[in-house]
Structure 1
Amino acid sequence: MTTAATKSSGPAAWADALLLSFAQAGYLRAEPSILQPAEPVLDLSGEDIRKSLYLTTDATGEELCLRPDLTSPVARDYLASHRAGQPTGFSYLGPVFRYRGGRPSEFLQAGIESFGRQDRAAADAEMLALALEATSAFGLTEVEIRTGDVALFNALIDALGLYPVWRRRLVKDFNRRINLTHDIEQLTLKTAPGRNEYEGVLAALAGSDRKAALALVTDLMSIAGATNVGGRTVAEIADRFLEQSTLKGGELPRDALAIIKRFLAIADDPVASAAKLRALATDTKLNITAAIDEFESRVRFMAARGIDVRNTRFSTSFGRGLDYYTGFEFELHNRANGVEPLVAGGRYDGLMTQLGSTTPIAAVGFSVWVETLTDAAGKSGGPS
């Protein structure tokens, strides 16, 4: 796939050659608008991302932004097309815009998004194989594969039967790559007995879900004529009450804490990791078999694609720091200098409903950081 043009030209020319290879693999070219509605971006990533966006408004007052990535815009265009709900794969190449400190705010992104495939394990393996082709085509052979699977963690938390707020807190912290062991222990320490002026409210909220808690606290604040307290929103106050009610109702059981710690300590190649996960499930009598079966099926498809699974890193604690991932996650790093990922992606089955789809649609994909890959290839003596 490496051509004379890619050897003598810059990142854009190489990325065009890469895009051609994606088209030959059956992925249609997607070209979403550079200017995107800001609301979906903020809904998916939270208000914290606002400081990284380049925002404007149109004549109607709608807030718009220069696209900070291409995954969501490609997904939105797919949902608006006649292909919505059908298995379809897209490839893309174009500039994205995001404030990144001292680095350029405009940079090239290439990648693939695959929607609607029900053979999830095979689709996951195909994404990783194509991502590896992208690096090898540019002369990078010393690539480290780092993988994880948030579906395994979610299955474990569900099997433990924890209070809803514990599940929400732990999954949220896992997705954001927070030190879970420290967080769990700190929260457990907060369960000391005592009474306060909110005792009745806490009792009313105990065991409820976030939606019920938010409704109750909103009603109470409306009666009091307040919309925020100390700079905190109604939702933030409801979350705090819900957390306190759960802690009041009972701390995270020590056996659950021990199981989570054991789970998060699993780090090996995928084959060895699967054996450790089976042993954990047997020892704890927790029903996480379906998630492990899916994990092992993916590993078999990876091997069938020619991926050296024995030289692939897997860790149960690996995550990409984004809430919308629902399963397989991966990053490819240059072994010589692996700080920044060259390619990164994973499964995000929940994104389509978040973007307005009335039915769930399977989705998996990856992004190529073109300039990062170009720099790494140049330093290793590959095309430049």
Structure 2
Amino acid sequence: MTPTTAVNGTGTAAWADTLLLSFAQAGYARAEPAIIQPAEPFLDLSGEDIRKSLYLTTDATGEELCLRPDLTIPVARDYLASGRAGEPAGFSYVGPVFRYRGGRPSEFLQAGIESFGRQDRAAADAEMLALALEATSAFGVTDVEIRTGDVALFNTLIDALGLYPVWRRRLIKDFNRKVSLIDDIERLTLSTTPGGNEYEGVLAALAGSDRKAALALVTDLMSIAGATNVGGRTVDEIADRFLEQSTLKAGALPRDARAVIKRFLSIAGDPDEAVAQLRALATDANLNITAAIDELESRIGFMAARGVEVRNTRFSTAFGRGLDYYTGFEFELHGRGNGTEPLVAGGRYDGLMTQLGSATPIPAVGFSVWVEALTEIGRKRGSAS
């Protein structure tokens, strides 16, 4: 069956079956997780903001449940519950997911691959990108823009700068949430307004502390006061707020650190050229980020070996997918001239498995395919040919 026949003939369902067959031939077994899932993992990992997009219910025991809004977490949960948890295993899937999307259908098809337990991270990352490109080609969509990034590089940079823990958390959170990171850097660099307040003593005690020490102090103070929350804020939230304020009181984000971060975030374009710029930055700023750069360079080599046109790939140090659980390589495939939404998106999420209950870290990488968007583009191009 040719791509045009599938799109113009039997439509989306045939495409989904064809895609699953190609994934199976690549060694990824079919996964079919339950449609109804516990809501807690989605809320914990994506934040309460996702609640307004979920279709929620409650069972007889009071547990909050939802229709699955995506398939990555359900597939990961099933893997952890299996006898293969911790071993290398790969899964593919296609099925409906449910999410409020403001005027667009709330039920739509998602396909994809999840790979767990592989220690050869760079090779596994490159394989995901190559298979993602094969997925778009299966729909007759070959003119795609490849956007890539690596959140591990940013995290390593921030660690190498030796910033206060509160600055590290705030900057990494901003990066993951895709807010205006440069604007926040500018605000952190400005000196705070002089003058005291009723919390001056607490702020002075917390200055330069880590989060554990801040939480312990605030917990003790609130225990003495006989309070467990103030104004709806939990102890953790109050501790974080005090810690942030104390750090700002102690001094602004160093200007040399700001300059390094801004230079880092400006690196974009050809991946090989980006590696050269990153090595120059590491040398100029005397930063120990060599291992992260080596991993990036290794991945680029594996991408080329898998037939990916590296020079047609855009790498940006500022690229992120806006999800907290990504820990390394991230990518999106966009159809040229077909809007801003990705057709395929994914990356490495090594931290997810422990967040879902694994006693030990398990490497994980994967991607999701937006089947209906690809079908529509494939149909239009098939009709025009």
Task: Report the TM-score when normalising by structure 1.
Answer: 0.96
Q: How does 1:45-124 map to 2 (within 5 A)?
A: 45-124=46-125
Q: Distance between the aligned counterparts of 2:161 and 2:97, measured in 1?
A: 41
Q: SS at the partner of 2:197?
A: coil
Q: SS at the partner of 2:167?
A: helix
Is 1:332 aligned to residue 333 of structure 2? yes
Contact 1:139-1:383 within 8 A present in 2 as well = no
Q: Which residue of 1 aligns with 2:215?
A: 214
Q: Which residue of 2 aligns with 1:188?
A: 189
Q: Which residue of 2 aligns with 1:351?
A: 352
Q: How does 1:104-253 map to 2 (within 5 A)?
A: 104-253=105-254
Q: SS at the partner of 2:382?
A: coil
Q: Which residue of 2 aligns with 1:30?
A: 31
Q: SS at the partner of 1:330?
A: strand
Q: Which residue of 2 aligns with 1:307?
A: 308
Q: Distance between the aligned counterparts of 1:194 and 1:286, measured in 2?
A: 36
Displacement of 1:44: 0.7
Contact 2:12-2:372 within 8 A present in 1 as well = yes
Contact 2:7-2:379 within 8 A present in 1 as well = no
Q: Distance between the aligned counterparts of 2:265 and 2:156, measured in 1?
A: 13
Q: Distance between the aligned counterparts of 1:338 and 1:346, measured in 2?
A: 21
Q: Distance between the aligned counterparts of 2:306 and 2:232, measured in 1?
A: 53
Q: Distance between the aligned counterparts of 2:339 and 2:95, measured in 1?
A: 24
Q: SS at the partner of 2:357?
A: coil
Contact 1:344-1:368 within 8 A present in 2 as well = yes
In structure 2, stretches of 5+ residues that fail to align are: none
Displacement of 1:222: 3.2
Displacement of 1:380: 2.3
Task: For 1:136, give the aligned amino acid.
Answer: S
Q: Distance between the aligned counterparts of 1:195 and 1:67, measured in 2?
A: 49
Contact 1:326-1:348 within 8 A present in 2 as well = yes
Contact 2:7-2:378 within 8 A present in 1 as well = no
Q: Distance between the aligned counterparts of 2:203 and 2:380, measured in 1?
A: 59
Q: SS at the partner of 1:175?
A: helix
User: CA 1:259/1:350 → structure 2, altered by over 3 Å: closer, same or farther?
Assistant: same
The alignment-based identity, stated in percent, is: 84
Task: For 2:273, give the aligned amino acid.
Answer: A
Q: SS at the partner of 1:381?
A: helix
Contact 2:8-2:379 within 8 A present in 1 as well = no
Task: For 1:105, give the aligned amino acid.
Answer: S
Q: Which moved more, 1:53-62 or 1:195-204?
A: 195-204
User: CA 1:271/1:382 → structure 2, altered by over 3 Å: closer, same or farther?
Assistant: farther
Q: Distance between the aligned counterparts of 2:191 and 2:369, measured in 1?
A: 43
Displacement of 1:217: 1.7
Task: For 1:217, give the aligned amino acid.
Answer: V
Deviation sequence 1:121-145 (CA, Å, 0-9, x none): 0000000000000001111111000
Deviation sequence 1:167-187 (CA, Å, 0-9, x none): 000000000111111101112
Contact 1:377-1:383 within 8 A present in 2 as well = no
Q: Which residue of 1 aligns with 2:290?
A: 289
Q: Distance between the aligned counterparts of 1:218 and 1:10, measured in 2?
A: 59
In structure 1, stretches of 5+ residues that fail to align are: none
Deviation sequence 1:41-83 (CA, Å, 0-9, x none): 1111111111111111111111111111000000000001011
Contact 1:8-1:383 within 8 A present in 2 as well = no
Displacement of 1:210: 2.1
Contact 1:23-1:29 within 8 A present in 2 as well = yes
Contact 2:55-2:67 within 8 A present in 1 as well = yes
Q: Which moved more, 1:182-191 or 1:169-178?
A: 182-191
Task: For 2:165, give the aligned amino acid.
Answer: P
Displacement of 1:190: 4.9
Displacement of 1:338: 3.7
Task: For 1:293, give the aligned amino acid.
Answer: D
Q: Which residue of 2 aligns with 1:256?
A: 257
Q: SS at the partner of 1:287?
A: coil
Contact 2:68-2:97 within 8 A present in 1 as well = yes
Contact 2:111-2:370 within 8 A present in 1 as well = yes
Displacement of 1:304: 0.5
Q: Which residue of 1 aligns with 2:342?
A: 341
Q: Distance between the aligned counterparts of 1:215 and 1:322, measured in 2?
A: 29
Displacement of 1:313: 0.5
Q: Distance between the aligned counterparts of 2:239 and 2:230, measured in 1?
A: 11
Q: Distance between the aligned counterparts of 2:245 and 2:358, measured in 1?
A: 34
Task: For 1:20, give the aligned amino acid.
Answer: L
Displacement of 1:203: 1.9
Contact 2:7-2:375 within 8 A present in 1 as well = no
CA RMSD across the alignment: 1.6
Displacement of 1:7: 4.4
Contact 1:325-1:349 within 8 A present in 2 as well = yes
